[in-house]
Amino acid sequence: IQPKSVTYKMQGDFGYLRLSGFNEKATDETLAAINALRAKDPQMKGLVLDLRNNPGGLLDQAIGVASLFLNGGEVVSQRGRDPQDIERYDAKGHDVLNGMPLVVLINSGTASASEIVSGALQDRHRAAIVGVTSFGKGSVQTVIELGGGLDGALKLTTARYYTPSGRSIQKTGIQPDLEVAETRD
């Protein structure tokens, strides 16, 4: 049984959507949740996207989720040692919220694919990022089998992820626009 990576509810006039990981259904489940929230309240005034403690997952799903909130343009780039070795990934489709206010919640457990999404939405001025600085996992690893896989494998960092404005995610993470620390009673 594969648990859903998306949970959602209305909080007054605002939608709340928690995305716990970027599995192969993350984009489809996120879009379905947004459509369900809008069906519940056609007058919804904004959306809170909760990426706290989201460890990441699949790159194509990070691009897909970011694409739900962007009208084209760059989501992330991948850069290796050679300055000419840059791969850019652009948003596909259009902003399904049509510019509706969007807030993204992050914390120190927000990593990898969730940092790609929050960094893209921040750099593209599409969302306010709220919380504390994210984990900073922005490296691309390539697995190289040794002896045809019989002698194990080597995981080698071959590139890093960068936000649309050119900020490296690795080690620095995503800094929130509004720092709000979680407190426990």
- pLDDT of the residue at 149: 87
- pLDDT confidence band for 185 (50 / 70 / 90): low
Which burial class, exposed, middle or buried, applies to 23 when counting CB atoms under 10 A from its CB (0-12, 13-18, 19+)? Answer: middle
Q: Which residues are catalytic?
A: 112, 123, 137
Contact between 132 and 183 under an 8 Å Cβ cutoff? The reply is no
Question: Which uninterrupted H or E stretch holds 75?
Answer: strand 74-79
pLDDT for residue 131 is more than 90: yes
pTM for the predicted model, two decimal places: 0.93
- pLDDT of the residue at 4: 82
Quote the CA–CA distance of 112 and 102 in Å, as a whole number.
20
- pLDDT of the residue at 83: 80
